Structure 1
Amino acid sequence: MPQTTNEQHAGELPDPRPRKAGGGGVVPVLAFAGITVAVMQTLLVPVIKDLPALLHTDPSNATWVMTATLLAGAVSTPIMGRLGDLYGKRKMLLASLAVMVIGSLICASTDDLVVMIVGRALQGFAMGAIPLGIGIMRDELPRERLGSAMALMSSSIGVGGGLALPAAALIAQHFDWHTLFLGAAGLGVLAMALTVVAVPEPALRAPGRFDLVGALGLSLGLVCLLLPITKGSDWGWTSGSTLGLIGASLVILVLWGLFELRSPAPLVDLRTTARREVLLTNLASIMVGVAFYAVSLVLPQLLQLPTSTGYGLGQSMVVAGLCVAPLGLTMMFVAPLYARLSARRGPKVSLMLGMLVIAIGYGAGQGLMSAAWQTVVIAVVLGAGIGLAYSSLPALIIGAVEPSETGAANGLNTLMRSIGTSVSSAVIGMVLANTSVHTGGAALPSMEGFRISFLIATGAVLIGLVLASFLPSQRESMRPALLASSDEDAPAPTASRPVAGSGGFRGRVLDADGAPVARANVTLIDHRGRQAGLTVADGDGHYALAAPHGGSFVLAGSATGYAPSARPAAYPGDGLPVDTDLVLEVSAPERRTAVSS
C-alpha cells in the first residue's frame, strides 16, 4: 500500500502517479499534436467562400466540407478517449494522427465533393487527440507541472485554430489550395514522429471492455442531433428533415442512456456525468464553445468585406488572418497565468474570470469594428478570456473522476465544446444569412448581423458564468482526501475531526479485544472494485476518508501482524461523515507466537 510522506498534510490528496523528474518533451510534443489536430477546424476558413466553385457544386453542398469535420470530431472524442483508457492513450493518439494524415492526403488529391467530404471527416476524427493528450499528462507528469500542462493542451484547440488562419490564408493566396492539405499531412507526420520519440505509454488502464453498442448508439444519436443543427438554416428549422432528425436523436439518446446505465462497462459513466460538478462543467463548456466559434466566424468576414459596403475593412486574406491570429497566441500565453491563478484560487475561479473577460471582449466589440487595429484588440481580449476558460475545464473534470476514466471524461467534455461550436456555427450562420444585404448582385453579411452575433456570444457566455457559479468552490470535495499522515511526528486527527470535503467515513481501526491498531492502512473501494481513497490511521487508530460521491463502498483495513479485513459501507451523500469502525484479527503466525509466549 502506498505510504504518505512528511510533506503531505491533512486534507491533501495523495498523488498516485509516479513522480518523474524528466519528461520535459512530453508537454510541448502533446501540445504540438493538439495544435496540429485543431488546425483542421479552421484550415479551409480562408477559402470557404470559394469552395462551391473549387468543388463544382452549389453553396449548400459545399458546406458539408466544413460540417463533416465538425460531426466526425464530435463523434470521435468520447470514443477515442474510452479506447485510450482501455488500450493505451499513446497508441490511440498515434492512431488519431494517422487517420488525420490519411484524410489530409485524400483531400489533397481530389476535387470531387463526396471524396473531399470523406477526407474531411477523417481529418475531424483526429479531434480525439485532445482528451488523449490531457490523459497522458495526468498519468505521466508530477503534480506541480500538471496544471500549466493541461492548460496548454486544452488551449491548443484555440491556438491551432488561431494560428491556422494566417498560415492557411498565405498558402491559399499564393499556391494551389490543395497545398493546404499537404501541409496538414506533413504536420501530422511530424507530430507522430515526435510522439513516438518523446511520449511514453502510460501503464494505467481502465478495467472492462469497449462498449461497441454504446459507441454506435452515441455516434448515431450525435449525428442525428448535430446534423440538423448545422444544416437547419439551409433545410429550414421547421422542415420535416430538421424536426424528424431532432426527434430521432432524442429517442436514440434516451435509449442509449438507458443502455449505458445497465451496462457493466459503459462508454460513458452517466452516474458520474450526472454529478453536479461534472454536469455543470460540461454545460459551461457548451457555452464556451459557442463564444469561441463566434469570433472565428465574424472577424475574418468583417475584415475582408470591401470598403464600398460602408462597414467592411477591405483587407486581404492574409492581413485578415494576421489580425485574428492574436486570438490563438494570447490563449497560448495565458496558460502559465492560469496555472498560478488556479493554484491560488482554484479552477472554478479561473473559469468564471475567463468567462467574464469573454463577455467584456464581446461587449466592447460592439463598438470596435471600424478599423483593423480594433479587431486585433478584440482578438487579444477574447483570446485571454477563452484561454482561461478552456484551461480550467480539464482541471475541473479531472478533479471529479477516477484516474482510469480521464480519457473518456475529457473526451466527453471536448464533445460538449464541439456541440457548442456546432450550435454557434448554425445559429450565427442563420443570423448572418437572414440579415444579409445585397450589393452588386451578391448577398453580403451586414453590420447588424455581426452585432447580433456578438450579442448571442455574450448571452451564451453569461449563461455559462451563471452555471459555473454553482460549481463547488473547493475541488477537494470531489476527490478522495488523505487526512492522516504516516509520518510518526505528524499531528494525528481525532475521532471528532470532520472529514475534508463534503463527507465520507470516519472511525477507528481496532483489534478483536477493542484495542486500537496504530498506523493501519484504510482503503475505500467503490462499487466497481476501484480504489476511491486511502489513508493511514493515527496512533490511536482513528481514520477519516472523504467519499467522492454517495453510494455503496467497501472499507478495507490492513496492518502488519493482522489479517486484512473488509466491510461494506454506504454513504448517503448528505455531506455528513458516517462513523464506521474496522476490526482486524491478529494473523495466525502472530497468534501462535502470543500463545507460545
Structure 2
Amino acid sequence: MGESDRKRRRLSRSPKPGVVIGVLAFAGMGGSFMQTILLPIQSELPTLLNASREDTAWVITITLLVGAIFTPIAGKLGDMFGKRRIALVLLALLVAGSVLAALSTTVGPMIVGRGLQGMGTGVIPLGIAILRDVLPPKRLGSAIALVSATLGVGGALGLPLSAFVAENYDWHLLFWVAAGIGTLSFVLFLLVIPVSALRSGGRFDFIGAVGLALGLGGVLLAVSKGNEWGWDSLQTLGLLVGGVVVLLLWGWYELRRDNPLVDIRVSARGAVLMTNLASIAMGFALFASSIVFPQLLQLPRETGSGLGLTLLHASFVLMPSGLAMLAMSPVAGRLERQFGPKPLLVAGAGIIAVTYLAAGFINLEVWHVLVINTVIGVGIGLGYAAMPTLIMRAVPANETGSANGLNTLMRSLGTSVAAAVIAAILAQSSVQSDGASIPSPDGFQMSLLLGLVAALLCALIAAFIPKPKEYTKEHVSIPDGII
C-alpha cells in the first residue's frame, strides 16, 4: 500500500466537522449543567446532609470556585500537552465527582465531589480551542458560537431536568444523571475528537498555578460570601485584600517566566484586554436576570413581589433563553463572517440593554418574563459567539487554550460579582411577609437597572476594541465531506 493510500484511509476515518462540533457542544453543556444541578434542592440541603446551612452552602460555592480557578489552568495544560488529552482528564474527574456525590450522605464527601464536578467547566474553553485547531475557517464562526453558548445553555436546559428529578425521585439520582452525561461525553470525545498536533510543550508553571488559585480563590470567595459574612468583616476584607495582593505578586512573577501559566503581555494587548473587560460586563448582565427572574417567578402573588409559579413551571419559563442561545449559533456565525466579531458583540450587548430597559417600564407578568428572558438569550448568544473569536484572532494558535480559559474566567468573574451585588440589593430592599423576609418590587427593579448598566458598559467597551494582529491561518483542518 502506497503512502497516498494510507493517507486516504486515515482521512476516511476522520469525523465530519459537524460531528466534532456536536460532541464538543454536548460535552460543554454537560460541564455547565453541573453548576445548576442542585438549585432545585438548595434550601433542603441542610436536612438532606444533616449539616448547618453555612456548611451546605459550600456544596454550591465550591463548584463555581473550582470551575473559575481551574479553567485557565486547564487551558494552559491543553496548550502544552494536548487539548483533547486534558479535556478527557477533566471529563473523567467530572464523572468521578458525580459518582462520589451520588454515594454521599454527608457534607464532606459531597463538597469534594462537587469540586471535582466544577473542573468539568474547563471543557468549554478547551472545546473552543479545539475548534480552531481542526475546523476549516468557514465553519469556525457558527461552531464557536454554539460551543461558547453552552456556558449558558447547559444551565438553562438542565434546570427543568433537575427540578423534575428532584420533585419525583431520590435526589441522588441527579448525580447519577450527571455521571451518565459525563461518561457519554468522555466516550464520544475519545472516539470522535482528533488529536491536535499543536502543542507548545515545556514545563508547567506550578508556582504560577498555585499563585493564581490562591489569589483568585481569595477574591472570588470574598465576593461570593460578602453578603453572608458582612462586607466590612475581617474575614471578607482579609480575603479580598489578600487575594488582590497575591494576584499582584503573581503577575510580577509571571512576567519573569519564560513559559508562564498566563502570558500577561499577550493578555495586556488592546484587543485581548478590552474583550476580557467586556466579558466581565456581559457576565454581569447575564446573571442579573438569572438571579431576579427565578425569584420573581416563584414568590407567591400574595406577597406583591412574585408570580406564584412552582420551581418546575418557572424552569420551563426560563428554558427558552437557552434554546435562543442555541438557535442563534448559526445566525451568529453568518453575521460574524459578514460583519466581524466586534459589531456582533456590540449588537449583542445592545439587545440586552434594550431588553432590560423595556423590563423597567413593564409591570411584569409571566409571559413578559418569558419574552424578555428569551430576547436576553439572543443577545447573550451573539455576545458569547463574538468573544472567543475576538480572543483567538489576537493570540497565536499555541496559546488558544489558555487565552480562552482566561476569557471564560472573566465571564465567571462577572457572574460572581453580579451574584454578590444583586443579592445585597435584594436583601437591603426586602420586606416582611408572613414573618419572612422577601425581596421587594423596588429591589427587583434596581437589579434589572444594574443589568442595563452592565450591558451598556459592555457595548461601550466593545466599541473601542482595537483591531488585532490576526492569527487566523494557524489551524489543522478537517477537510469538508470527510466521514
TM-score range with shorter-chain normalisation?
over 0.9
Name stretches of at least 5 consecutive residues in structure 1 with no aligned partner: 1-19, 483-530, 532-597
Going by fraction, where is strand more abundant, 1 or 2?
1
Equivalent residue number for residue 122 of structure 2? 128
> Distance in 2 between the 1:343 and 1:85 partners?
26
Equivalent residue number for residue 224 of structure 2? 230
> Distance in 2 between the 1:454 and 1:222 partners?
27
Distance 1:122 1:176, change over 3 A: same
| Corresponding residue to 2:383 among 383, 389, 409 | 389
1:21: Cα distance to partner?
8.6
Equivalent residue number for residue 185 of structure 1? 179
Q: TM-score, normalised by structure 2?
A: 0.92
Measured on the aligned residues, the alpha-carbon RMSD in Å equals 1.6
1:373: Cα distance to partner?
1.2
Equivalent residue number for residue 6 of structure 2? none
Task: Determine whether 1:280 maps to 2:271.
Answer: no
Q: TM-score, normalised by structure 1?
A: 0.75
SS of residue in 2 equivalent to 1:320: helix
1:132: Cα distance to partner?
0.7
1:49: Cα distance to partner?
2.7
Task: List per-residue Cα deviations over 1:223-273 (Å, max 9, x = no partner).
Answer: 011010000011111111111111111211111111111101101100000
> Distance in 2 between the 1:121 and 1:26 partners?
28
In 2, are the aligned partners of 1:327 and 1:382 still within 8 Å (CA)? yes
Task: Determine whether 1:269 maps to 2:263.
Answer: yes
In 2, are the aligned partners of 1:23 and 1:198 still within 8 Å (CA)? no
SS of residue in 1 equivalent to 2:394: coil
Structure of higher RCO (CA pairs closer than 8 Å, 6+ residues apart): 2
1:378: Cα distance to partner?
1.2
| Corresponding residue to 2:456 among 454, 458, 462 | 462
In 2, are the aligned partners of 1:60 and 1:234 still within 8 Å (CA)? no
Task: List per-residue Cα deviations over 1:54-111 (Å, max 9, x = no partner).
Answer: 3333433332221111110111111100111111111111111111111111211223
Equivalent residue number for residue 524 of structure 1? none
> Distance in 2 between the 1:24 and 1:157 partners?
19
Task: Determine whether 1:28 maps to 2:22.
Answer: yes
Task: Determine whether 1:244 maps to 2:273.
Answer: no
In 2, are the aligned partners of 1:97 and 1:129 still within 8 Å (CA)? yes
> Distance in 2 between the 1:354 and 1:316 partners?
31
| Corresponding residue to 2:470 among 479, 493, 496 | 479
> Distance in 2 between the 1:369 and 1:298 partners?
14
1:24: Cα distance to partner?
3.0
Task: List per-residue Cα deviations over 1:416-469 (Å, max 9, x = no partner).
Answer: 111111111111111222222222222222222211111111111211111111
> Distance in 2 between the 1:41 and 1:449 partners?
25
Written as runs of structure 1 = structure 2, the 5 A alignment for 1:354-503 is 354-368=348-362, 370-472=364-466, 474=467, 477-479=468-470
In 1, are the aligned partners of 2:305 and 2:439 still within 8 Å (CA)? no
1:369: Cα distance to partner?
5.3
How many residues align? The count is 461
Equivalent residue number for residue 189 of structure 2? 195
In 2, are the aligned partners of 1:369 and 1:375 still within 8 Å (CA)? no
Task: List per-residue Cα deviations over 1:123-156 (Å, max 9, x = no partner).
Answer: 1111111111011111011111011101101001
Distance 1:21 1:44, change over 3 A: closer
Q: Which amino acid aligns with 1:159?
A: V
Q: Which structure has the larger Rg?
A: 1
| Corresponding residue to 1:88 among 43, 57, 82 | 82
> Distance in 2 between the 1:267 and 1:321 partners?
39
Name stretches of at least 5 consecutive residues in structure 2 with no aligned partner: 1-13, 475-483
Task: List per-residue Cα deviations over 1:202-228 (Å, max 9, x = no partner).
Answer: 111114221111111101110011010
